[in-house]
Structure 1
Amino acid sequence: KRSIYEVNVYQSELTLKGSFSSEELKKSRIDMEQLQFDRAAICLNLTDMRGISEQISITLGDSVYIFEPGMDNRGIDNTGVHAIANLSELKQNKKLPYEIKIKLKGSQSLNFIPLGKTTRVDLKANWNTPSFTGNYLPNNRNITEKEFSAQWQVLNLNRNYSQVMVDYNNSNIKDIENSSFGVNFKIPVEQYQQSMRSAKYAILIILLTFGVIFFTEIMNKTRIHALQYLLVGLALCLFYSLLLSFSEHIGFNPAYLLSSALTIALVGGYMFGITKKKKPSLIMSGLLGILYIYIFVLIQLETFALLAGSLGLFIILAIVMYFSKKIDWFNE
């Protein structure tokens, strides 16, 4: 947090497991004698080094190697860490298993690049609004009210670069970078988005309120000046300024309740002062209350927002048409 603003950050504990093999090197006809297996560089690319919480090491068989900062012009990118390890066992056609444990901090998203012949990723987090992004969607996912879990499996056939690269260029690097996948930790409809969505219904609320004032003027034979219409409209517009300013401090839902209550009290009290009658002011207050509840429900909905909005507008139009037919428009 900084002042009233928040940024979404996370802490992760990652375990990377796999095995190194010389099989793909031999398929690519690499001269094994020219390779310095005892001085092999194991590179781990990270987009932000500040996220590293603890020292990173790699367990290779019975040996443990500590990573050093930087890439020393090795690897796909210049950002990350590397370790010099002895992989001489690969000359004997053996598979050398490895394990890396990383405690990594980050913000907004966590992404992976599938460099393994078969890349499997299993993620679990106490976050209920994940957005899966990148070139590959998870094979399986489970999202509950408190957490989510997701599993990916990416084969070497699913990507546009080979398992072994001797002289890689910018085109190869671009293909590798474009093959990333992962998850964004989305904040579900934060207060600025909700305030913007509620403002989109401003014209509807203002027009309906003016309509009720107009019907009140006709049916009760009360003269209401154009300036008074303007003042009511300004009060309705001020609702959105109150909503935004309150929501930055107390959250959207309490801010919506407080702003709507203040606006309803102001407009209802003003109507009572104009007409000197309780019934028109109560009708106005009740209408605004229903409208604000209706808009609040629409804001909370996602899948059925359009359907609920269309049905609500149909009902509102039917009510307006019903009351309009009771008015003698030509004074006959």
Structure 2
Amino acid sequence: MSNLPPRITPPPLPVFTPQPPSAKPNRPSGPDMSVGLKIVLMGLLCCVLMIGALAIWLMAYDRNTTSADVSQDIVGQWGEKTYIDGPFLAIEPDTDSLRPAGIVPVALNVNANVETMSLHRGIYEAEVFTAAISMKGHFRSSDFKRFESDSITVKIDIDPHNVTETSPLKIGDTTYAWSRSDSSLHACIPIADLDKIEDVPFSTSIKARGSGGFFIMPSADTNTITIIGNATNPSFSREQLPVSRKVGKDGFSARWEIRHTVGGYNVCEYVGADFLLGVDRYQKVCRAIKYAFIIIILTFFSVFFTETTMHRPIPMFNYFLIGVALILFYSLLLGLSEHMSFGASYLIAAVMTITLITCYMWKMLGSKAVGLAICGVLSIMYGFCYVMLCISTYALLFGSLLLFVALAATMYGSLKIQYR
């Protein structure tokens, strides 16, 4: 036997089994909190975000005030509302008369073409108009024989500042030049020129300018007044409404037919139209901000139901970032609307905001479907808000429909929440 030591068998090496790498969570980490607490925190966050919305509203209000001041300055230089009374005959008073006597026409036919336009000063603008007015009619020659005077004055009461051009007054076959006073146009007519005319026809035309409204006094016994223009939102709110009118996207036309006299003086007030400016860009931004709280609440609840149904808690900081994006929408809208139309500004600001939040939700939760769902919700909300801004008549209806749909979605989503 050999004296070799016994052979020692080494113990088997441990088998190394590689562990699969732990999957990285595709959700944000954050403290797990109860549903009630999270809803309370979302409400508080909404109130904080509305402070930012209020700041943007104050900015829009301040710019709206500046715009109104600039517009008023432009209007003061161009001309305010235009009022036309006449033509009528004014007799120089004698020593026993306290005021001039007046003779109104037997018939008066007025045609006016009013073209509105915008004047710009920097980023601000004012709505003004130019008007081409033609007048014709006739006086009764027998009325002149009641007055012992060598001449008579034909007057048209109108602010001369608003008059840009006049054509001579034509009576019969003779023309007379207009003169201007502080408040009217007048032409002196010798009575001798009218003795041979039984019915005294007249005609003239005026070019005027102004802003805000255009009005004519039906000063004759029988009046036919026609006003046409390119304004799409005239308001016929005076005492006498037109017998026929048509308003469309290409403009308007209105016609008045008025018969009256009481003791030689008309008993009707001015007829015409106010040209409403509608809701300008700053007013629309201010109105849009009024819906900010609803937009924020509905967006937060959409995100909340997403994280609840997917069991992927989202920290409140992420809610805050989403809310900031929603508030910046109004800052973008205000800035863009000063350089382009409100519709284009709204579209660009909405697309930027929706794209940002959609991509953020997609990357945060790792779900393309969630991102598209949030995109759809935001698109619907911003679409409804735009309709409410542009169609004020149906604002209440569309707003109620939006809230009803939101409530229905909230009720359905609440069934999937596990309360604890």
Which TM-score tier does this pair reach, normalised by the shorter chain? 0.7 to 0.9
Bigger RCO (CA 8 Å, 6+ sep): 2
Matched with 2:169 is 58
1:266 to 344, 356, 381: 356
Consecutive unaligned residues in structure 2, runs of 5 or more: 1-119
Aligned partner letter, 1:80? S
Matched with 2:282 is 192
Alpha-carbon distance, 1:199 to partner: 2.3
1:98 to 202, 225, 228: 202
Q: Within 1, Cα distance between the matches of 2:239 and 2:168? A: 29
Equivalent residue of 1:327, what SS?
coil
Q: Is the 1:24–1:163 Cα contact (8 Å) retained in structure 2? A: no
Q: Is the 1:17–1:97 Cα contact (8 Å) retained in structure 2? A: yes
Consecutive unaligned residues in structure 1, runs of 5 or more: 27-31, 71-77, 166-174
Alpha-carbon distance, 1:121 to partner: 0.7
Structure 1 residues 87, 164: CA separation in 2 closer, same or farther (over 3 Å shift)? Answer: farther
Equivalent residue of 2:164, what SS?
coil
Matched with 1:43 is 155
Matched with 1:9 is 128
1:297 to 347, 371, 387: 387
Equivalent residue of 2:250, what SS?
coil
Matched with 2:326 is 236
Aligned partner letter, 1:252? F
2:311 to 221, 224, 234: 221
Alpha-carbon distance, 1:183 to partner: 1.2
Q: Within 2, Cα distance between the matches of 1:261 and 1:130? A: 34
Structure 1 residues 21, 323: CA separation in 2 closer, same or farther (over 3 Å shift)? Answer: same
Structure 1 residues 328, 25: CA separation in 2 closer, same or farther (over 3 Å shift)? Answer: farther
Alpha-carbon distance, 1:18 to partner: 1.8
- Is 1:182 aligned to residue 301 of structure 2? no
- Is 1:324 aligned to residue 406 of structure 2? no
Matched with 1:170 is none
Q: Cα deviations across residues 84-111 of structure 1 (Å, max 9, x unaligned)? A: 1124576789431211111222223211
1:248 to 338, 347, 351: 338
Aligned partner letter, 1:138? P
Aligned partner letter, 2:139? F
Q: Cα deviations across residues 215-264 of structure 1 (Å, max 9, x unaligned)? A: 12322333333333233222212211211211121111111111001111
Q: Is the 2:309–2:416 Cα contact (8 Å) retained in structure 1? A: no
Matched with 2:111 is none
Q: Say how many residue pairs are matched.
A: 301
Equivalent residue of 2:137, what SS?
strand
Aligned partner letter, 1:237? I
Q: Is the 1:67–1:82 Cα contact (8 Å) retained in structure 2? A: yes
Equivalent residue of 2:312, what SS?
coil
Q: Is the 2:232–2:249 Cα contact (8 Å) retained in structure 1? A: yes
- Is 1:111 aligned to residue 230 of structure 2? no
Matched with 1:143 is 247
Larger of the two Rg values belongs to structure: 2
Aligned partner letter, 2:154? I
Q: Cα deviations across residues 107-142 of structure 1 (Å, max 9, x unaligned)? A: 232111222223321112233322223222111112
Q: Within 2, Cα distance between the matches of 1:129 and 1:103? A: 22
1:163 to 264, 273, 278: 264
Structure 1 residues 162, 259: CA separation in 2 closer, same or farther (over 3 Å shift)? Answer: farther
Q: Within 2, Cα distance between the matches of 1:222 and 1:212? A: 14
Q: Cα deviations across residues 173-215 of structure 1 (Å, max 9, x unaligned)? A: xx98xx2221123345432333233223212111101111221
Q: Is the 1:23–1:93 Cα contact (8 Å) retained in structure 2? A: no
Matched with 1:86 is 190
Alpha-carbon distance, 1:152 to partner: 1.0
RMSD of the TM alignment (CA)?
A: 2.7
Aligned partner letter, 1:163? G
Q: Is the 2:325–2:353 Cα contact (8 Å) retained in structure 1? A: yes
Alpha-carbon distance, 1:65 to partner: 0.8
Equivalent residue of 2:361, what SS?
helix
Alpha-carbon distance, 1:24 to partner: 6.8
Q: Within 2, Cα distance between the matches of 1:154 and 1:56? A: 26
1:275 to 351, 357, 365: 365
Q: Is the 1:195–1:240 Cα contact (8 Å) retained in structure 2? A: yes
